[in-house]
Amino acid sequence: MSDPAVPVLVQAETLVFDDDAGTVSAGLLATEVSENPALTVDQIIAILWPSPSAQPLLVGLIETANDADAPFRLVAIQTPEKLPPQLASVPRVAQLPTHLARGGGGVVDYVLSTKAGTGRAVPFWEAVLSPLLRFAAEALSQDTEPDHVVVTESNDSVREYARGKHAAAKDGPRTVVLLSGDGGVVDLLNSSPPEKEGKDEAAPPLLPTIVLIPLGTGNALFNSLHKPLFTGPSELVLALRTLLSGVAAPLPTFHASFPPGSRIVKYMNRDESSSGAETPSEVAAAEAQLYRHETDVAALHGSIVASYGFHASIVYESDTPAYRAHGAARFGMVAQELLKESHPYAAEVSIRRPGAGAGELERVPRDVHAYVLAALVSNLERTFTISPAGKPLDGQLRLVHFTPLGPERTMEAMMKAYDGGKHVDAQWEDGLRVHYDDIEELAIRVEDEEERWRKVCIDGTIVDIPKGGTVRVRREEKSRFNIVVDSRVI
């Protein structure tokens, strides 16, 4: 029996589509002995087909979540026959897209974030993405060799890579294929060099391009960009379709500034090898290795959310080995504990609405808050819609906020976010409700006495704010990166 992690290439005499099962498989010669896995339409990444005279190559991804040894398997089927009409919705790729093409001095790097999510970046690269690139190179007769493959070694590796590699290339475009979660994107955003003054505006520098392969926990940015396409394919199949056939578009961002004394707070492992702990004994050892790491910060760029209150506390208190072992479920586990306390977060919150002049801030009329979250995206998870009016790349900041509601009503509102974002219409007989506003700017003066509650979350990065300090969040007019998306969402 063959290694289940090794890609399968089947030379088919014909393609057989099983209408009852909804799968396509290879019709083999009777004398041929070979593995012949069937693929559903939703598992097919693309059909690599450079010309009508060439033999099309179907490539698909089989995911087996309960198989720890081989969670992914790449399958390729080549045939000289016509394609079944049932495959009409699968992307056809005749040549590499601009962001992967090597002409004009372009550079394509692959960054594998080993700390993202549950640590799947390296296995996915080895079992799926690297062999997919080889299949594409052979089928399309184009170069897909990476310029660099960077395997992260610490929480700072993406930033270290970015400071050295990702600035706009002088001789051509640079593409960063990021096997990561949202944290990898925020690391790239905050490691880009500042714009030089007096540059020639008639010939602006080429923006680096991000291709995101979602291997984090929530994958808010990816899921929001692909939300209109959630009709069957998995996140990873959608990501690979976008890699091979997507187009680059400017990534909307915001700028968050912090008062003096603000610090990025992380709990890090003295022993890096313990960060992937899974068994109870390993988790306990990893917890014992944790230490608090602080870094002064004046500003951050983000592309997802800026939050204060309940959401920021969930992100902050779930970032330990014991909780990370549970993947996305960790957020709900921490939320349940925080709801028992239902802390009222003391702050003065002000907003600037669209059309208001610079500095025309309107104060939210309350002194304590439960939830304050400004989003550039629609979804924090694939099924958790925080901002239902959000559209891919629309660049509009929207604020979700409400006063302390008590555990039951807070949970009711949060559960409605899993029902297509219906929380934004939630209201109760006593007049309390969830507020949802388009904004241009947000200011939060943090007044809590206890440090535990003075946390702000910027795209998953936690910043501790001194009492009386003000955080300001505003949309940025100029993009810092392009990001590759399916052309249907533009």
Q: What is the DSSP letter of 442?
A: E
| pLDDT tops 80 at residue 67 | no
Whether residue 3 lies inside any domain: the answer is no
Structure tokens at 29: 């010669």
Same domain, 22 and 112: no
* 63 within some domain: yes
Over residues 445-456, the pLDDT tens digits come to 999 999 999 999
Question: How many residues can be counted in the chain?
Answer: 490
- Predicted confidence (pLDDT) at residue 437 exceeds the cutoff of 70: yes
> Is residue 99 domain-resident?
no
Is residue 325 in some structural domain? yes
pLDDT at 449: 94
Within this chain, do residues 296 and 336 fall inside the same structural domain, yes or no? yes
Among candidates 380, 373, 377, which has minimal Cα distance to 393? 377
CATH number of the domain within which 39 lies? 2.30.29
Q: What pLDDT is attached to residue 239?
A: 97
467-477: average pLDDT: 96
Same domain as 384, residue 335: yes
Count how many domains the chain has.
Answer: 3
* Shared-domain flag, residues 275 and 358: yes
% of residues, the chain, pLDDT over 90: 65
Q: Where are the beta strands (DSSP E) in 4-56?
A: 8-11, 14-18, 23-27, 39-40, 44-48
Query: What contacts 264, CB < 8 A, 6 or more positions away?
Result: 294, 295, 296, 297, 461, 462, 463, 464
Residues 283 and 170 in one domain: no
Residues 241 and 261 in one domain: no
Last residue of a domain, one of 93, 116, 131: 93
For residues 419-446, average pLDDT: 97
Express each pLDDT in 312-330 by its tens digit: 999 888 876 666 666 667 7
Instruction: Indicate whether 128 and 219 sit together in one domain.
Output: yes
At residue 4, the pLDDT reads 55
Same domain, 184 and 124: yes
> CA torsion 9→11→16→20, rounded to 10°?
-20
Rounded average pLDDT over 263-283: 61
In this predicted structure, what is the pLDDT of residue 457?
A: 96
Residue 2, domain member (yes or no): no
68 and 126: one domain? no
Greater pLDDT, 307 or 104: 307
Cα three-residue angle 266-280-4, rounded to 5 degrees: 95
What is the per-residue pLDDT for 1? 40
Structure confidence by residue, pLDDT tens digits, 95-144:
999 999 876 678 999 999 988 888 899 999 999 999 999 999 999 999 99
pLDDT tens profile 149-180: 999 988 788 888 888 754 445 557 889 999 99
CATH code at position 373: 2.60.200.40
Residue 102 domain-assigned? no
Q: What is the mean pLDDT of residues 192-215?
A: 71
CATH number at 121 reads 3.40.50.10330
pLDDT higher than threshold 70 for residue 196: no
Last residue of a domain, which of 71, 93, 115? 93
pLDDT at residue 358, as a whole number = 85
Domain shared by 207 and 289, yes or no: no
Considering only 30-39, 180-189, 213-222, which range has the smallest mean pLDDT?
A: 30-39
Which tens digits make up the pLDDT trace of 345-404?
Answer: 999 999 999 999 988 999 999 999 999 999 999 999 899 999 999 999 999 999 999 999
Q: Give domain status of residue 22, yes or no.
A: yes
Same domain, 173 and 263: no
- Judgement on whether residues 286 and 238 belong to the same structural domain of the protein: no
Residue closest to 89 by CA, chosen among 126, 45, 28: 45
Residue 45 covered by a domain: yes
Domain containing 69 equals: 8-93
